[in-house]
Structures are given as structure tokens and as C-alpha cells.
């Protein structure tokens, strides 16, 4: 029989991990939703057309700052502008970079910063959105897409850094 003092003492706590499926579900919906809305509109089937226009109306009213700058699929507009859709692509890129970060990679310095500093650094690229909307309203769709991808990438890296269990720690 072991005495109480012979049992090992736990000196480390296991880190809490949140499930990752909600994160990836949201990313998938954000990426596939806008083109799906356009395909619903282009289908010509009344139920799907209504569904597509409802998604387009809601997102262009409450989310997207420049809804007239949308890509079109089969002659129907996507539910968000090129910049917003670029941001969803950037969220995936941010996750990809975070998932492959090693202690030797330059990106690991970002994860060593205080959470408030990471947040401000990730928020800064969204200022480019304001500058572009305010001072360059005729910017090309390609620039909007890249601008959105850059902001989405930094936001994705920030989300990965605060989501317990999403960022690989070595």
C-alpha cells in the first residue's frame, strides 16, 4: 500500500483547449457564403433567388462598406465586396501561417508579444480600409482583394493566438 507521500505531485496544469470546429465552421461559411449567394441568385429558382438576395441585402447593409464593388458569378453579385471576401481568404491564410509557425520562424516573434500589442498590430491594417474607402474610391477590385486579404491575415493570426488549442505551442 502506498502512503500519501509516495504519490507523485502534479506540478503542471494542462492547458484548456477549445474545440476548433466552431472556428473552422465560421471560416468556411464566410468563404463559401458570398459566392453561394451569387449562385443562388443566378440559379433562377425563386426560393434560391430570394435566399441569395436576402443574404446580399443583409450583408451589404450591415457588414460590407462598399457593396457595389462585388465580384459577379454567372452575372449575379456576390454577397460582399471584393475587400470583405479577401478578408475571409486572409483569415484562412492567417490560420495557415499560425499552424505552421515554429519557434525559429519570424512569425513566432509576433506570438511572443503581449496580447494588447498583437491586437493593435492586427487592427492597424483595417485602417487601410478606411484610407482606401475615403481617399481612393475608384481602387481596383484586385487592390480591394489584396487589402482585405492583408487585414484578414492579421486578424486570423490574432484569433489563432488567443484561441486555446488553435495555435501550436512548442
- Does residue 53 sit in the same domain as residue 108? no
Q: Do 60 and 120 share a domain, yes or no?
A: no
Note whether 87 and 74 are same-domain residues. Answer: no
Are residues 155 and 120 part of one domain?
A: yes
Burial of 9 (0-12, 13-18, 19+ CB in 10 A): exposed
pLDDT value of residue 149: 93
pLDDT of residue 39: 92
Q: Assess whether 91 and 160 both reside in one domain.
A: yes
Asked if 145 and 91 sit in the same domain, the reply is yes
**Structural domain containing residue 152:** 82-170
78 is written with which cell numbers?
Answer: 456576390
Domain boundary at 46, 80, 114, which? Answer: 80
Q: Looking at the structure, do residues 87 and 137 belong to the same domain, yes or no?
A: yes
Q: What is the DSSP letter of 5?
A: G
Same domain? For 94 and 167 the reply is yes
User: Per the domain annotation, does 167 fall within a domain?
Assistant: yes
Q: What is the mean pLDDT of each run of 10 residues along the chain (170 residues)?
A: 48 62 88 90 92 88 80 87 90 87 79 88 87 85 90 90 67
Q: Is-above-0.85 flag for pTM?
A: no
Is residue 5, in this structure, part of any structural domain at all? Answer: no
CA 128 to chain centre: 17
Whole-angstrom Cα distance, residue 8 to residue 54?
A: 60
Q: Write down the pLDDT at residue 91.
A: 92
- Domains held by the chain: number: 2
107-146 burial: b if 16+ Cβ within 10 Å, else e: eeebbeeeeeebeeebeebbeebeebbeeeeebeeeebbb
Amino acid at each position: 500500500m502506498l502512503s500519501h507521500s509516495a504519490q507523485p505531485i502534479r506540478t503542471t496544469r494542462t492547458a484548456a483547449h477549445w474545440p476548433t470546429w466552431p472556428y473552422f465552421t465560421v471560416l468556411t461559411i464566410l468563404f463559401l457564403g458570398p459566392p453561394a449567394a451569387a449562385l443562388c441568385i443566378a440559379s433562377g429558382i425563386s426560393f434560391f433567388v430570394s435566399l441569395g438576395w436576402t443574404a446580399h441585402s443583409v450583408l451589404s447593409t450591415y457588414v460590407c462598406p462598399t457593396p457595389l464593388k462585388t465580384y459577379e458569378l454567372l452575372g449575379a453579385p456576390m454577397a460582399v465586396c471584393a475587400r470583405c471576401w479577401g478578408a475571409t481568404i486572409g483569415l484562412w491564410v492567417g490560420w495557415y501561417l499560425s499552424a505552421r509557425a515554429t519557434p525559429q520562424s519570424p512569425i513566432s516573434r509576433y506570438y511572443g508579444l503581449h496580447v494588447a500589442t498583437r491586437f493593435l498590430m492586427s487592427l492597424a491594417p483595417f485602417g487601410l480600409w478606411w484610407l482606401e474607402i475615403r481617399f481612393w474610391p475608384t481602387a481596383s477590385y484586385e487592390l480591394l482583394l489584396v487589402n482585405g486579404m492583408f487585414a484578414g491575415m492579421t486578424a486570423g493570426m490574432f484569433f489563432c493566438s488567443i484561441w486555446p488549442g488553435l495555435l501550436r505551442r512548442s
